[in-house]
Chain A
Amino acid sequence: MDFAYTPEQEALRDNVRTFIQENVTDEVRQEIEDLGIRRRGPRVRELYAKLGERGWVGISWPREYGGQDGSRIDQYIVEEEFARAGITVGGAGSGAPAILAAGTEEQKKYFLPGLINGEISFALGFTEPQAGADLASLQCRAVRDGDEYVINGQKMFTTAAHYASHIYLMARTDPEAPKHRGISIFLIPMDTEGITVRPLWTIQNEPQAPAGTTYGDARTNEVFFEDVRVPTSCLLGEENMGWYVGAMGLNLDRVGASRYLISVQRDEDIVNYVKENDLGGMNLAEDTSVRDRIAELWIEAQVCRLMTMRSMSLVEKGGNFTYEGSAEKVFAPEHGVRTTETIAQILGPYAQLLNGSEDAVEEGVFAHNLMGSFQSGINHGSTQVMRDQIARRGLGMPRN
């Protein structure tokens, strides 16, 4: 075991921090605030181009597709520093792990460089009105017609669909097969004819959550497919094997810097806040009960960090997860909820003040977090489903 980063990795971290200080300017932040981080305006595009030049996106991907053949730990370091600055680099929803594992040469050559320079981004088209936790019961249909597939159906809670370049779509290609064996994945440009996106507004809307809030997106979407015709080259992996291709990507989506940070950033925030402020004249940093609870949260945050490091260590060694990714996806989001709710009791009525309110604490991030932290335990596989997976895959317990 080795719990330290190498000197080279520490140097990389310093470089990334310096880069962020120099390049994530107030103008860039303003653009992110106006447009959201995933919908890239000109300044953010420029930023991503610079990242690409430095080889900081997809470090662990093969060189021939724009990566560096580097270590997953290095990639994690870059992702963590950018996530702390409110900027997504790789990580959740990138689609890349599955494309690397199952894509054709042509797909890899097209998508991976695009993901690196920021010209391509995916909305994840998984959930449907009647298929959430039981995702494999999805009904969105893709029918082969010569060199094309014809897609009809509806997706739900499709975050980023209103600005992503592509959708990473799970659809049913064989309605006769057992439900897990009749699903395929398609990578489809969002501007394809027949795709309609309608907004769904989250409770983080009005006022908009400040940057860094756990699930602070004001908007998600429903996406409708009406006789959408796509070439067969959009298929990722083999037809009807999409469940397994998707599982590969999802497993890696569940872990890493962004999931970890959204679960623990409030821990750092509350420590730093009570150290630096006497809210309403209360000396919270010297309150015995507050101190005990803060220490308790801090310990859990360390467990979140170490579980993330465990996943990274496994990936770096080329090992497979049996239950470790699911473990992280239970512990971290539930910790995030405990932290958020504890902070409410530490700060008292100030913690209910939303962004823009008179006397709001830290732009209302703690209040908005109360509307978002539980979401982290729901999306990408609920903590209940994750516990099923730990028990069944990790502990060999039977299905009921």
Chain B
Amino acid sequence: MDVLPNEEEQMVKNLAREFLEAECPPRLARDMEKDDLGYPPELWKQLADLGWLGISLPESYGGQGLPLTYLGLITEELGRAIAPVPFHSTMVAALTIAEAGSDAQKQDLLPRVGRGDLVLTWAYSEENPRLLPETVQCQAVEDGDNFVLTGTKMFVDNFVAAEKCLVACRTAPASGDGAGISLLLVDAGSTGVSQIPLTTLAKDKQSKVIFDGVRVPRSNLVGELHQGWPIAQEMLDRGTALLCAQMVGAARKDAEMGIDYAKNRVAFGRPIAAFQSIQHICADMILWVDGGQLLTYEALWKMDQGLPASMEVSQAKSFCNDKCEAVVRSSQVLHGGMGFMMEFDLHLWYRRVTAWTMRLGTSFEHRSRIARGLLDQPGRVRLGMNLEVPA
């Protein structure tokens, strides 16, 4: 039992921070809000050279095979730097391929991901954005050696930058146990694929993606036919935990900016940091970020150990949704009018963290999962015991 990062983990985190502080200033995030692609390919290449893109991919496919916690720490630092790179979406898809893909798929795709030659994304949400098996309506119909995919996906990250998209679709009618879902890897440039950009609060790249009779070769099926739900669920949980890491990183930086500002801003003849009303806001910000960080680390660690982590993931996301939002809003409050100004950088963090609270599960959705884990299965509960969201 040691909930703190060990020496090696801390070193990886520190190195990531040093690199990003030097190479990824807030200016970049600001510029990329107006960029068509949404990320600077040179920075992406640098991340590949540093080994970050393959850090938790298998060694046999060119990765470093390090625990998911390491990927989490890198993601946390990218969040801190609000780095405008398609890291999260690429990792979510790549890790799912590494888990469930065929050897040929892994051979073909993972080394390219690690080298920085392949940007990926994934698509689950539809018009009803809840992350449940029954919300998947996109249809894939078998036709010889192909599937024919029709339907609309919502809130797809970085679709404009991605070469391929891992799509959850229905290959058989919905059933109670989630069967009937399959995962297809679709080339973003296939005939019949179109996208409509969404203008998000974060001003990052999300799209509504329309598949209109898109032919996808059978060899692009990831995992077994109709058996995609457990894979998708794991993908969503992993993606959620990594998003929490990103939120925690960004929220802590945002809190630090608020605290620094309070130490320097003079009012009533002293720095406002000398006022207890301000101090207590700052203390709360740190409590909240710390709480989110601890929950996130536990979720990542459990996943890495192959232990059930559905409860831990939902705990982390629900808490981060509420508390990281409270942190970035508090920091806006500490900054007074300055934080509201376009030229001041604070809003870059505020808008991103706020947008992230709505992605990969709202607080209500995650608490509903936790309630199922607590209340819908027999037996007395006890803190510290292993609990799982029932299927």
Contacts and interface: CB of A to CB of B under 8 A. Distances in A.
A397 B286 contact: no
Given A272-B380, A295-B371, A3 B279 contact: no
Interface range on chain B: under 10, 10 to 19, 20 to 34, or 35 or more?
A: 35 or more
B283 A387 contact: yes
16 contacts: A2-B1, A3-B301, A3-B302, A271-B381, A285-B375, A292-B364, A294-B375, A295-B368, A303-B295, A310-B294, A313-B4, A314-B4, A388-B283, A390-B287, A391-B283, A400-B276
Interface string B1-34: 1111110010000000000000000000000000
Contacts of B364: 292
Interface string A383-400: 010111011101111111
B125 interface: no
Interface stretch (B144-152, B193-201, B266-274): B266-274
Interface string A258-300: 0000001001100110111000000001000001101110111
Looking at chain A's contact residues, is the secondary structure mostly helix, strand, loop, or mixed? helix
Contacts of A307: 290-291, 294
B262 A397 contact: yes
B1 A327 contact: no
Nearest to B72: A1
A104 to B, nearest CB: 33
B265 interface: no
B315 interface: yes
Given A9-B1, A73-B1, 7 more contacts: A1-B3, A272-B380, A303-B295, A307-B294, A312-B1, A400-B270, A400-B276
A259 B381 CA distance: 20
B3 A388 contact: no
A2 B294 contact: no
Given A9-B1, A296-B367, A397-B263, A275 B279 contact: no
A73 B1 CA distance: 8
A295 B374 contact: yes
Contacts of B371: 291-292, 294-295
Contacts of B263: 396-398
B276 A3 contact: no
Interface of B: 1-6, 9, 69, 259, 262-263, 270-271, 273-276, 278-280, 282-284, 286-287, 290-291, 294-295, 297-298, 301-302, 305, 315, 318-319, 364, 366-368, 370-371, 374-376, 380-384
A120 to B, nearest CB: 30
Interface of A: 1-6, 9, 73, 264, 267-268, 271-272, 274-276, 285, 291-292, 294-296, 298-303, 305-307, 309-310, 312-314, 316-317, 323, 327, 330-331, 384, 386-388, 390-392, 394-400
Given A307-B291, A391-B279, A400 B274 contact: yes
A316 B273 CA distance: 33
Contacts of A291: 367-368, 371, 375
Given A1-B301, A292-B371, A302 B279 contact: no
Contacts of B370: 295, 298-299
A87 to B, nearest CB: 17
Contacts of A331: 287, 291
Contact of B284 (A296, A310, A387, A398): A387
A391 B69 CA distance: 29
Contact of B4 (A271, A303, A310): A310
Given A294-B375, A391-B280, A5 B270 contact: no
4 closest cross-chain pairs (CB), A and B: A391-B279, A295-B367, A291-B371, A306-B294
Contacts of B375: 271, 274-275, 285, 291, 294
A3 B290 contact: no
B367 A388 contact: no
B381 A268 contact: yes
A5 B1 contact: yes
A391 B258 CA distance: 12
A275 B380 CA distance: 8
A309 B302 CA distance: 16
